[in-house]
Amino acid sequence: MGLKNSYATYGSVAKWLHWLMALCFIGAYCAVYYGIWFFPDARSPDRNFIRGIHTMFGLSVGLLVLPRLIWKVVNVEPHPDPAPNWQHLAAKYAHWGLYFFMIACPLTGWLGTGGRSVNMFWLFEIPTFRGSALFPWLVEGKLGLTFEEWEHPIDIAHKQVFGRWMAWMLILVHIAAALYHHVFEKDNTLRRMVPRAKLLQTESSSEK
Ligand code: HEM
């Protein structure tokens, strides 16, 4: 398996980025709902700790999306298995939708979080927007808003629109489509993204 994609399959870099990103989304969702469901007091130390786990997984998505997009642009796309045109179009739009949420969820989370910095797996810290020099310059200086006024609409976008509904619904559709291809169509769609999976011999899998 090469590092780069071929017309037949994804290379190891694209696969690693895909599954790492999936892991970070799972980590961000599991942490945030574990905190909300099991520690309802939003100011308790346990809830704060778990919020920190959410923000570190969430920001990792934001950090991985740039290399992922660059890698996508500089690589060829594997040719998809034969399917009706509408399915190819739906897959294309769904993938761009997922890229949108890979940017929108971390960005709105980062822009709307209080505190000074986010701990990244106890290795290094990333300043929050509020803790950065941008906040007093842009929000207080140029827009004349307090943090609470600024945070309110961004929190609605992050917590109620993107995070709570739109992103995970698209993720579910994405998983369902991959499983449909694997179980019912019995083609290479899922196999192309799985490390070391053997491709079935089809016209598109024999292309270089
Ligand atoms: C993949 C990225 C992310 C996803 C999918 C995501 C999703 C979510 C969801 C679903 C919630 C709970 C909404 C509810 O109330 O039902 C939430 C809450 C929250 N998110 Fe994110 N988020 C992401 C990244 C981030 C980042 C990067 C930050 C900050 C740096 C952040 C900060 C927060 C905070 C502070 C809360 C409130 C948690 C609490 O009340 O304990 N999120 N997010």
The full DSSP string for 23-58 is: HHHHHHHHHHHHHHHH---TTSHHHHHHHHHHHHHH
CB contact at 8 A, 70 and 17: no
Pocket test for ligand 1, best of 53, 130, 158 (most atoms within 8 A of CB): 158
pLDDT of 207 > 70? The answer is no
| Predicted local confidence at residue 200, as pLDDT | 85
Average pLDDT, the chain: 94
| Predicted local confidence at residue 146, as pLDDT | 96
Q: How confident is the model at residue 22 (pLDDT cuts 50, 70, 90)?
A: very high
| Predicted local confidence at residue 115, as pLDDT | 87
Which tens digits make up the pLDDT trace of 88-109?
Answer: 999 999 999 999 999 999 999 9
Of 208 and 155, the one with more pLDDT:
155
In the chain, what are the domain boundaries?
12-206
For the entire predicted model, the pTM comes to 0.93
CB contact at 8 A, 80 and 35: no
Which tens digits make up the pLDDT trace of 121-137?
Answer: 999 999 999 999 999 99
Dihedral angle of Cα 82, 84, 88, 93, to the nearest 10 degrees: -170
* Count of other CB atoms within 10 angstroms of residue 45: 9
Separation CA 176–CA 156 (nearest Å): 28
Ligand 1 centroid vs 198 CA: distance in angstroms?
A: 37
Query: Is domain 12-206 classified as CATH 1.25.40?
Result: no
Q: How confident is the model at residue 196 (pLDDT cuts 50, 70, 90)?
A: confident
Q: How confident is the model at residue 201 (pLDDT cuts 50, 70, 90)?
A: confident
Name residues whose C-beta falls within 8 Å of residue 10's C-beta, 6 or more positions apart in sequence: 18, 78, 192, 193
Which residue reads 């009706």 in tokens? 84
pLDDT of 203 > 70? The answer is no
Which tens digits make up the pLDDT trace of 38-79?
Answer: 999 999 999 999 999 999 999 999 999 999 999 999 999 999
Of 59 and 166, the one with more pLDDT:
59
Q: What is the share, in percent, of the chain residues with pLDDT greater than 70?
A: 96
| Predicted local confidence at residue 78, as pLDDT | 95
Ligand 1 binding site (Cβ under 6 Å of any ligand atom)? 25, 28, 32, 35-36, 42, 47, 51, 54-55, 58-59, 61-62, 105-106, 109-110, 113, 118, 158-159, 163-164, 167
Ligand 1 centroid vs 37 CA: distance in angstroms?
A: 14
